[in-house]
Amino acid sequence: ATSVKSYEYVILGGGNAAGYAARQFVEKHGLSGHKLAVISRESVAPYERPALSKAYLTANPPTRLPAFHTCVAGGGAPQTPDWYAKNGIDLLLSTEIVDCDLNSKCLTAKDGSKYGYGKLLIATGSDALHLDELGMQGAHLGGIHYLREIAEADKLYEAMKACAGKHAVVVGGGYIGLECTAALVINGVRVTMVFPEPHVMARLFTPEIAAHYERIYAQKGVNFIKGTVVDSFADENGSGQVKYVRLKNGPVLEADLVVVGVGAKPRTTLLEGALAMEARGIKVDGHLRTSHADVFGAGDVITFPLKMYGNRMARVEHVGHARQSAMHAVDVMMGATTEPYDYLPFFYSRVFHLSWKFWGDTPAQAKTIVVGEMNPKLVAVWIDQDGHVVGTFIESGTEHDENKLKELARTRPKANVARLEEAAAANDVDGFLN
Ligand code: FDA
Ligand code: NAD
């Protein structure tokens, strides 16, 4: 029989959450001596995934590993494989787990090797939603790109360089759509964006905020086709390479390159039937414990209670949550805290010279007040039905502005609507902020 290599702690996954969890084990809890394994399907040590749609594609020269291994965000040194070795952590790369037996506490890899654990942290993240999984005709063709892991970023980078002066179709108007469009434009590719909503970033931006970003994209030559989706892709003369993108309402676009960003799906398959699920994610309690003893979760894959919103259950696909939930889960696993995880939702993006941040919540009935024309600042505040500030947004803020807006989203004071509207009418961003 295959022997089982056993660890006190195993982190399943090698992404953002895994990197921050490993650091927490070492730096806060002094773990050493091969008690911890990080098991990842990827061939490289955990890295800051957000870089893949930013400096990896746009910097000159482009950022490459080891520069953005975790945990460089916030100024640490990159955790290269040497760091894991030096700290007595077994980093098992190119190792895909295909079976999780929670009763015998044993994970089985694709090659048959087995790993036992005392406590398990599930950090399998999410994957891009692929159009061929939805049965779309032509979605298997070459030249159709997704972006989740580093190998995909390498392929996209090469394809983009080969397409300078040519035309790309970007499918999706969310984070990937906007960040990859910016990267393509910076690399001299002409872009048409296609998405079903009336404006970009519909899951967060109001029409007014979106209009400012769309204006800047349009000035850079980006063409928008809104309110429709792709029906199928086709090649030319059986080349196997995408050439035509047919839209649902009829028109056919020509494309030398396609980038698809139509959302993500949490990687839960391994645990289905074994753990309680909610809202497509692995359900955890306020201490990041799953429904099975000694199994914890962090990052994109979990559905967790948002303490500050009355424990409303949520799944969050953002790096701030991956980092914080991972560190908190490790503290719980080590018996170092009895506090629940208390996350203030935080989202951000960077494209071209722009950089926005958002904190808090956007309830459906909220009123939004927007001030500024992005020259360079724009601020927005979401006010709930009871008149409290619940969400805050800023483009091109200073550290002082950002701290102030983060604090407002966290403390949710009663809004002085008259004063805010006055500042909005006068276009007085600094008055609005002070
Ligand atoms: P992540 O997806 O990072 O890691 C999961 C890991 O588990 C991977 O290494 C995977 O291979 C591994 N794995 C899965 N199943 C496995 C198995 N069965 N066996 C072994 N290993 C397995 N967020 C943000 O707030 N700001 C930003 O600017 C960006 N930018 C951004 C750009 C791009 C291109 C992407 C794809 C995503 C972002 N994000 C982001 C989102 C952010 O990167 C994301 O929320 C975190 O990476 C989530 O971290 P996790 O560790 O949960 O999953
Ligand atoms: P997303 O949810 O941000 O956007 C999906 C977009 O897909 C929607 O805005 C919509 O326009 C579009 N869409 C849906 N179905 C479509 C269809 N059939 N045809 C055309 N468009 C369609 O997801 P994403 O942009 O794909 O990002 C993937 C993951 O990566 C997410 O988890 C996201 O949070 C993460 N990510 C985050 C950042 C960031 O936080 N700055 C950056 C990149 C990626």
From 283, 298, 333, the end of a domain falls on 333
User: Which structure tokens are listed for 308?
Assistant: 């500050």
Query: What is the best residue among 248, 280, 317, 318 to mutate for testing ligand 2's pocket, by most ligand atoms within 8 Å of CB?
Result: 317
Same domain, residue pair 141 and 246: yes
258 located within any domain = yes
180 located within any domain = yes
Same domain, residue pair 137 and 206: yes
Pocket of ligand 2 (CB under 6 A): 53, 126, 171-177, 179, 194-197, 202-203, 229-230, 261-264, 317-318, 347, 349
Same domain, residue pair 12 and 117: yes
Ligand nearest, relative to CA of residue 153: 1
Q: Is 45 in the pocket of ligand 1 (CB under 6 A)?
A: no
Low-confidence ranges of the chain (pLDDT < 70): 1
426 located within any domain = yes
Question: Do residues 93 and 43 touch, judged by C-beta distance below 8 A?
Answer: yes
Q: How far is the CA of 127 from the centre of ligand 1 (A)?
A: 8
Model pLDDT, residue 1 = 60
From CA 152, how far away is CA 169, in angstroms rounded?
Answer: 17
Same domain, residue pair 112 and 192: no
Question: Do residues 423 and 371 touch, judged by C-beta distance below 8 A?
Answer: yes
Same domain, residue pair 184 and 115: no
Query: What is the best residue among 129, 262, 351, 395 to mutate for testing ligand 2's pocket, by most ligand atoms within 8 Å of CB?
Result: 262
Q: How far is the CA of 138 from the centre of ligand 2 (A)?
A: 21
Residue 102 backbone dihedrals phi, psi, to 5 degrees: -75, -25
343 located within any domain = no
Same domain, residue pair 285 and 406: no
340 located within any domain = no
Q: How far is CA 43 from CA 46, 93, 104, 251, 427, in A?
A: 9, 5, 27, 41, 50
CATH assignment of the domain containing 21 = 3.50.50.60
Same domain, residue pair 293 and 376: no
Ligand nearest, relative to CA of residue 282: 1
- Full domain range(s) for residue 197: 131-262
Provide ipTM, 2 decimals: 0.98
Same domain, residue pair 50 and 97: yes
Q: How far is the CA of 387 from the centre of ligand 2 (A)?
A: 31
Same domain, residue pair 122 and 136: no
Same domain, residue pair 257 and 280: no
CATH assignment of the domain containing 371 = 3.30.390.30
338 located within any domain = no
- How many domains in the chain? 3
What helix, strand, coil percent values describe the chain, rounded to 5?
Answer: 30, 30, 40
Q: Is 42 in the pocket of ligand 1 (CB under 6 A)?
A: yes
